[in-house]
Amino acid sequence: MKIASYNVNGVNGRLAILLRWLEDAQPDVVTLQELKAPDERFPAAALAEIGYEALWHGQKSWNGVAILSRVGSIHETRRGLPGDPDPAQSRYLEAAVNGVLVAALYLPNGNPRPGPKFDYKLAWFDRLIDHAATLMASGAPVVLAGDFNVMPTERDVYKPERWQDDALFAPEVRARYAALLAQGWTDSLRHLHPDETIYTFWDYFRNAFARNAGLRIDHLLLSPSLAPRLVAAGVDRDVRGWEKTSDHAPTWIELAEPGGDGDPLV
C-alpha cells in the first residue's frame, strides 16, 4: 500500500501537474494540502476519471486539505482538530481508508515570528499533539501525513544558520515536533534514511531547486501498530522540476500488507 502526501499549492491551478503525477506514481492513498479552493471548486470529477475517490475540506484562496483513494471508500472520522484555535481555517481532515486511519494536515506557517501568526502555529500544534495522543491511545493503525511546516533537525534544512529566526525552525516548534514523536510516532522518511540529505520543498526564488537549497517539512508519521509494515519511503523530487509545478515535491511511503514480511508483529 503506497501512501503519499503532496502540498499542491493550488489544486486547480496545478491540476495538470497533480493528474500527471498520480498517473505516473500510482499512489493508493494521497493527502493533499494547500488546495486554495472552496469546497464547490474541488476537482472531484477530474480525479474520479483517473480512478480516485476524494474527500476534501476546502477554503477559498487559502489552506485546504484532501484525502484521495484508489483502493476503496473513504470514511470520514473527523473534520478539524478538537479545540482548533481558528476553526475557519481548513487544516485537518481524517478518514479510514483500506484499514488505515489517515490524517491529512496542514500546519500553520507561523511567520512572522514573534507575532499572532506564530502564536496560532504553537496553539494549533498543541491541539494536534493532544489529538495525536488520543489516536495513539486507540491502538489504531494511523498515519499523520502532511505539511508540518517544521524542519525537525539541522539535517533537514539547507544552511540552518540562515533559518534561526524563522517560524519553521524555531526551537518551540521543533520541540513540539519532538514531543509528538515522543508519543511513539515514527518519522517514516528519517527512520529509513537516517543520514541522508532529503528535502521536500524548494523555494521558487534564488534558483533554490537547482542548487538543492531545500527544506524537509512534509512528513508521514506512523503509529506503533503501523510502523512495522514500513518497507520504503522517498520523495518524488523530479516532480518539483516540472514546469509550473508546486514548490513542494510529493513524499511517499510503502507499507507491506498486514501479516506480510514487512509486518513481523502481526
The whole-number pLDDT of residue 263 equals: 39
Average pLDDT for 118-122: 98
Average pLDDT for 191-195: 97
The whole-number pLDDT of residue 246 equals: 98
* Percent helix, percent strand, percent coil in the chain, to nearest 5: 30, 25, 45
Average pLDDT for 52-64: 97
DSSP states of 102-146: EEEEE-----SSSSHHHHHHHHHHHHHHHHHHHHHHHT--EEEEE
CA–CA distances in Å: residue 205 to residues 129, 152, 155, 202, 212:
33, 23, 21, 9, 12
Average pLDDT for 27-54: 98
Residue pair 221/253 in contact (Cβ under 8 Å)? The answer is no
The whole-number pLDDT of residue 264 equals: 35
The whole-number pLDDT of residue 230 equals: 98
List Cβ neighbours of 211 (8 Å cut-off, separation of 6 or more): none
From the candidates 106, 158, 177, 199, which is the catalytic residue? 106
Confidence of residue 259 (pLDDT cuts 50, 70, 90): confident
Q: Identify whether 106 is a catalytic site residue.
A: yes
Residue pair 57/103 in contact (Cβ under 8 Å)? The answer is no
pLDDT digits (tens, 9 = 90+) for 12-21: 999 999 999 9
Nine cell digits for residue 184: 511513539
Confidence check: pLDDT of 266 > 60: no
Average pLDDT for 63-71: 98
What is the share, in percent, of the chain residues with pLDDT greater than 90? Answer: 97
From the candidates 6, 28, 52, 147, which is the catalytic residue? 147
Confidence of residue 260 (pLDDT cuts 50, 70, 90): low
Q: Identify whether 203 is a catalytic site residue.
A: no
Residue pair 236/25 in contact (Cβ under 8 Å)? The answer is yes
Q: Counting Cβ atoms within 10 Å, is residue 56 exposed (0-12), middle (13-18) or buried (19+)?
A: buried
Confidence check: pLDDT of 132 > 70: yes
pLDDT digits (tens, 9 = 90+) for 133-165: 999 999 999 999 999 999 999 999 999 999 999
Confidence check: pLDDT of 227 > 50: yes
Mean pLDDT of the chain: 96
